[in-house]
Structure 1
Amino acid sequence: MTIDNEIYDRLGGTWWDEDNPLNVLHGSFTPGRLAYFREVLERTGRDPAGLRALDIGCGGGFLAEEFARLGCQVVGVDPSRVSIATARRHATSSGLKIEYIVASGECLPLESAFFDLAYCCDVLEHVADVELVIRESARVLKPGGLYLFDTINHTATSQIFAISLLQKWRLTRVIDTDLHNWDMFITPSELGAHLRRHRLSLDEVVGLGPRASLARLLRYYVQQRRGRITFGELSRRMNVGQVDRTDISYMGYATKANVTDTDRGTATDISTATATDTTSAPTSPASS
């Protein structure tokens, strides 16, 4: 099965519109992920104010804006020019300074050992080369930097929920296209092996999923398919966040190993970390 990553260009102009299927990733996914990531920052003794943060696969900027509000200096990258343009417009209208670049996670046009943290959410299950994305993520992180992530587990349960329920069954599927391929889902042990090969130590894995009951979820999906609620409202009713089970989706964090000072890099300002994107105007507020 070939997944439809072109949807992020077709629908990427309206990420923030609650009637856009992509807005499902915002209503409760954004606060659910952010609550856990903030707890990780607090637990590891990191004040987000002033941290250099990289959003890999930023889409329309949902999480980038939240990290910017926490005080981070955020750079967001995404291969979809349409999505990047949307993210730039929304950040400007929200008064947020975020640097956005058209680029893929497999080839980050960014300085090595520059960022204090990088996060990659709803991305790893979409890329052709997970190993390369992890390698690039590790490269741009400072020694001791944090790598935050979430992805979909490769289990029979995830096949039923993410493929059959959300993608195949007519009454409950979120959108009429193939967003996911079960063969591209990643187990925590597989992800851990990728991380270790690039000096990233997997510190924790926790469950990420809907906290509404299965019966309620089925009812909400049917209501959305019949046009009774928006995609944004569907997401809020799903009440996605940290859960006890990891057999559908999971999130977690890893830490980059400390190395010698010669590998640390010398940049002093976030604008020096980004390569100029000469083909994707307008310029983002962080680079003006």
Structure 2
Amino acid sequence: MTDAAPAPAPAPSTSAPASSAVEAELAKFAAMADTWWDPEGLFKPLHVFNPTRLAYIRDHAAARFGRDVTGRQPFAGLRLLDIGCGGGLLCEPMARLGFEVTGIDATEKNTKIAAVHAESSGVDVTYRCATPEALLGEGKMYDVVLTMEVVEHVADVDAFLASCGALVKPGGLLIGATLNRTVKALALAKFGAEYVLRWLPKGTHDWKKFVKPSEFAAGLRAGGLTVDDLSGMTFNPLAGTWSITRDLDVNYLVAAHKAA
């Protein structure tokens, strides 16, 4: 992390915003979109570690907003944005917890599949094919903003994180997740996951675009946020489960808030 002072969040623009999306990345995930909800398909790794991600989001949101997670819909009255929502694997559980959920993705096929699944599941989620920059241009803000496994796929990390931060309401929360740019991550998350275990299609990740925790934190601070927590997410191959740890070497999560 750096000690740079937080810069003010960028004001909503009325001009056409630049997009953080990368065309090659969009085409890659559009080709896989039909399998989002297949727990044994291409997105099996997301299904496996989804419970751990959900618990992290739930617990930090409960602490930030003083909510009791034992209630039926503990987050009723709060608005949540999931940036890079894919097929909606996080959106639907968040909606069931009471959030008013909007999921955006730069791949239209993903949002269409997500919308069909939500309707068939009886879950109220709004899906849009859009970028965070587009929402900024509309003056949107949310109590909780999620950017999970997205930042390693965007064209400009700092600009993307600034946009994410600007979408958080004063007093609100941002939760992010990505992969650390370490030799260990190269071995496990790139070669191990794609070529040895074949959890992911070859070419899913570009190790050079992995983001160090210090870089993620600096980008959030520049967007007007204060980082509250950095936690690792570690896989136990014997149990086949993920857990929250202090090991940030491969997968990690970040929680940050905007001052009220």
Q: Please say if residues 64 and 173 of structure 2, whose CA atoms lie closer than 8 Å, have aligned partners that are also in contact.
A: no
1:22 to 24, 35, 43: 43
Partner of 2:161: 134
Shift of 1:25: 0.8
SS at 1:62 equivalent = coil
1:166 corresponds to which letter in structure 2? Answer: A
Q: 1:147 aligned to 174, 181, 203, which one? A: 174
User: Is contact 2:26-2:106 (8 Å) kept?
Assistant: no
**Matching residue of 2:78:** 51
C-alpha change, 1:9 and 1:40, in structure 2 (3 Å) is: same
Contact 1:106 1:132 in 2 (8 A): no
**Separation of aligned partners in 1, 2:164 and 2:214:** 18
User: 1:133: how far off?
Assistant: 1.6
Q: Is the 8 A contact 1:49 1:70 kept in 2?
A: yes
Question: Which deviations, in whole Å up to 9, do the C-alpha atoms of 1:95-132 show, x marking residues without a partner?
Answer: 11111000124543664362111011111111111122
Alignment of 1:1-288 (within 5 A): 4-26=25-47, 28-47=48-67, 48-108=75-135, 111-112=138-139, 114-169=141-196, 172-210=197-235, 212-213=236-237, 216=238, 238-258=240-260
Shift of 1:177: 2.5
CA distance in 2, matches of 1:32, 1:111: 33
Query: 1:242, CA displacement in angstroms?
Result: 1.0
Q: Which runs of 5+ in 2 are unaligned?
A: 1-22, 68-74
Residues 1:8 and 1:113: Cα distance change in structure 2 (over 3 Å)? closer
SS in 1 for 2:90: helix
Which entry has the higher C-alpha Rg, 1 or 2? 1
Q: Residue 106 of structure 1 contacts residue 129 of structure 1 at CA under 8 Å; is this kept in 2?
A: no
TM-score, reference length from structure 1: 0.75
Give the 3-state SS of the residue equivalent to 2:65 in structure 1. coil
Q: 2:105, 2:256 → 1: CA distance? A: 22
- In 2, the alpha carbon distance for the partners of 1:176 and 1:15 equals 13
Partner secondary structure for residue 139 of structure 2: coil
AA matched with 1:205: L
2:70 corresponds to = none
CA contact under 8 A between 2:166 and 2:224: conserved in structure 1? Answer: no
Query: For the structure 1 residues 45 and 140, does the alpha-carbon distance in structure 2 shift closer, same or farther, using more than 3 Å as the test?
Result: closer
| TM-score (normalizing by structure 2) | 0.83
C-alpha separation between the residues in 2 aligned to 1:104 and 1:149?
16
Contact 2:151–2:157 at 8 Å: present in 1 too? Answer: yes
What secondary structure sits across from 2:171 in the alignment? Answer: strand
Number of residue pairs matched by the alignment = 231
CA distance in 1, matches of 2:133, 2:195: 29
When the two chains are superposed, the root-mean-square deviation of aligned CA atoms in Å is 1.9
- Amino acid across the alignment from 1:98: V
Give the fraction of aligned pairs with identical amino acids, expressed as a percent. 35
After superposing the two structures, state which structure 1 stretch, 191-200 or 66-75, moved more: 191-200
The runs of at least 4 consecutive aligned structure 1 residues that moved more than 4 Å come to 2-5
